[in-house]
Structure 1
Amino acid sequence: MGDSFEYPDFYNFPPFFTIQPVLATKEKQLDLWRDLIVRYHTQYKLKTLKIYECSLWSNDKIQRSLNREEVQIVADNLVANGHGEWIDESHTTLRVLWRKPEELARDVYEWAVQNGNIGSVCTLYELHSGEDVNGMSFEGLDEELLRRALAVLENEGKCTIFKGDTSEEDGIKFF
């Protein structure tokens, strides 16, 4: 993948590639790793992370890498903070949540309001692949995560979901 990704300055700081023992420093470091992973996956629209095959764990420029134990710590932190979900029992692959379902729900509803869709029905397909969602945080989102965001809105009484002939044809009416 062509590397137009802009790595933050701390990515070239050798201690970044060793999980720090002091709790406050470690927490900040894990926050930085989490933000880096989410930004990288968002930019390239990557939905999954095979944790032992990720190029982010190594920086050839400074000849530093996280070891397997440190990779696991970073991945577990991503999950613990709601930006990842294990999709296998062996905890080697996770779904990266570019945004949490609650954040996506806010984005979807804001889009519905701004585009005059309150009281209207649109399809699930239109919400993740329609022309009107270009550049939105939920554009290209996988169906399962979009449904979870819509469930948040449904629980808040801001939409209802109607069953279509196919899942892509399911309708969403915003209130």
Structure 2
Amino acid sequence: MQKMQIAVNSAPAMADFEFPEYYSFPPFFTLQPVSATRQKQLALWRDLILKYHTTQKQNTLVLHECKLWKNEEIGRELVRENIRVICDDFVENGNGEWEDEGKTRLRILWKKPEELAGDLLAWATRSGFIGQVCTLYELSSGEDSEGASFQGADEELIRRALAILEDRGQVAIFKGDTSEEDGVKFF
């Protein structure tokens, strides 16, 4: 595995991210013409984008600022059209959403809301929060959620997952004075 430190979206340097071996394979940066090969390649791009952004705790990908598109060590870079294909595929597979009409900013859904709903319920069970109330802030940034898959996730994604649980009768959501103070009780 290749270790390198890069910053995305003009953020300060983050912790080392271990890039998969295929990131150093020059053909990875050119969309492949054979459909089956291209589908595997797009799946690898989805996985890379998700792992990178969740590891770096980043919820947004700005297309023209994303450092993933270029590997200077091997002198390869995606062309703009291929970036759009990769990002459109990312959205079509439910891993992200366009934040603007011009499709320049992509919200990263670290997990699909259905998956996150399961993670939230499993965490509540494991952590003794069944029958307890906690705030949205505590879920995304609290000490009790440290290391959980949803720690640091954007508020909108957590709300979607909680709405799924509420529809199933597994949580009740309470309105607080601010959005961070909104509460949730797990059943």
For the aligned pair, the TM-score class normalised by the smaller chain equals over 0.9
Q: Does 1:111 align with 2:123?
A: yes
Give the 3 Å change call, closer, same or farther, for CA 80–147 of structure 1 in structure 2: same
Do the aligned partners of 2:110 and 2:153 also contact (CA within 8 Å) in 1? no
Q: Give 1:7-156 correspondences, 5 Å limit.
A: 7-156=19-168
Write the distance in 2 (CA, Å) between the matches of 1:107 and 1:26. Answer: 31
For residues 103-135 of structure 1, what are the alpha-carbon distances to aligned partners after superposition, in whole Å with 9 as ceiling and x for unaligned?
111111001111121111111111111110000
How many pairs does the alignment contain? 175
TM-score normalized by structure 2? Answer: 0.90
Write the distance in 1 (CA, Å) between the matches of 2:99 and 2:112. Answer: 16
Write the distance in 1 (CA, Å) between the matches of 2:30 and 2:108. Answer: 22
The alignment-based identity, stated in percent, is: 61
Bigger shift: residues 28-37 or 48-57:
48-57
* Unaligned ranges ≥5, structure 2: 1-12
Aligned to 2:178: 166
Write the distance in 2 (CA, Å) between the matches of 1:62 and 1:52. Answer: 20
Q: CA RMSD in A?
A: 1.0
* Unaligned ranges ≥5, structure 1: none
- 4+ runs deviating over 3 angstroms: none
Do the aligned partners of 1:84 and 1:97 also contact (CA within 8 Å) in 2? yes
Write the distance in 1 (CA, Å) between the matches of 2:15 and 2:174. Answer: 42
TM-score normalized by structure 1? Answer: 0.96
**Residue aligned with 2:61, SS:** strand
